[in-house]
Amino acid sequence: MPHDWAARWARLADEIAVRDGLTAGVIAIDGRSGSGKSTFAAELVRALADRGRRSVLISTDEFATWDDPASWWPELERDVIGAFEKRHDYVYRPRIWTDGVPSVGPSVWLRWRPILIIEGVTAARRTVANRLTAAYWIDGPEPQERLERTVSRDGEDSRGHLAAWQQFEDGWYAVDGARDRCRVIGIDQRPLG
């Protein structure tokens, strides 16, 4: 991602942290692979921290696998969203990858914070929409550019899986309609003012 884009994401995160008054609740950052969700999420965590607002960031990538792109949600809902709502620390078991094969990893323990950010494909899914304080959809470039971004990040060996993942996204979002429920933002958009 060009340096200029990183600066734009940082400015956008600062603007959203101020304008949307994010002080507590569950925030979803959704969008297609390679659109910039992870970059924006990290910048939003930073922007909130700069304003004294504590948050925890959980990525759907810690649960999803090539063979199970979406049905792991009850685990995230129980161990992360449920813990957030009860004001309990988060204890969950992310997937770890060894030689391209996922398995359930050791438990991760994170302290409860008043803001929970869930970032990744399917994060703003319909089943959680009524429990979200805010939901953002990251508009990214065309599919081929997004594919090249993800291949650059994950390696050429992943190209086939990533192309299949884009097809999964097409079907998922056609049915779930997450973009319609989210505030749409993108790196190429003008400031929100």
Q: Average the pLDDT over 126-138 and give the result.
A: 96
What residue spans define the domains of the chain? 3-186
CATH class of 3-186: alpha beta
* Residue 119 confidence (pLDDT): 98
At residue 156, the pLDDT reads 93
Q: What mean pLDDT comes out for the span 38-46?
A: 95
Read off the pLDDT band of 187 (50, 70, 90).
low
Per residue in 51-100, pLDDT (tens digit) is: 999 999 999 999 999 999 999 999 999 999 999 999 999 999 999 988 88
Pairing of strands 95-98, 101-104: antiparallel
